Amino acid sequence: MSGFTFGPWRVEHDPTEPQLHLIWGDVSILVARTCFGPSSAENARLIAAAPELFDALCKLSGEVMALLNSMSRDIDLERTVLNRVRYTQVMMTKVLGLRHCQAHEAYHDECDRCHALEH
């Protein structure tokens, strides 16, 4: 996960402020804090799970693609699974801050620069 604060992340509750939750990363790096609303604790846990969720999405996407390549051709099932894999890949690119470049049919972070060169 290049560019991210490595996980696992952990949540700490501040006993002096009931809705304040701190999310800590590797080597005691403060990643985020939640402090508003009744869902503050739940939001903190979701944020803290981000590194593991992203890793799981990457692994799942690769495994599903491998499964699709090895199974018999059921067109309807293949389309359904492939659409779910594509959705997963779109979510991963959002996490990575990448954009879809139609000119190159790829996801990368240099879309603005490559489009400026082409147009």
Instruction: Mark whether 70 and 14 lie in a shared domain.
Output: no
Q: How many domains, the chain? A: 2
Instruction: Kindly state whether residues 17 and 61 are assigned to the same domain.
Output: no
Asked if residue 71 is part of any domain, the answer here is: yes
CA torsion, points 20, 5, 42, 15, in degrees to nearest 10? -30
Mean pLDDT estimate for the chain: 76
Please indicate, yes or no, whether residues 56 and 107 belong to a single structural domain of this protein: yes
Which residues span the domain enclosing 29?
A: 10-48
Residue 111: the pLDDT is 52
- Domain co-membership, 63 together with 106: yes
Q: What is the pLDDT of residues 2-53, one digit of tens each?
A: 577 778 888 888 888 878 988 998 777 888 888 877 788 888 888 888 888 8
Report the pLDDT value the prediction gives residue 85, as an integer from 0 to 100: 78
Write the burial class of residue 47 (CB in 10 Å: 0-12 exposed, 13-18 middle, 19+ buried).
middle
pLDDT at site 103: 66
Kindly state the average pLDDT of the residues 53-74: 78
Q: Are residues 37 and 81 in the same domain?
A: no
Q: In what order do the strands lie in the sheet with 21-24?
A: 10-13, 21-24, 30-34
Cis omega (within 30 of 0) for bond into 38: no
58 and 114 together in one domain? yes
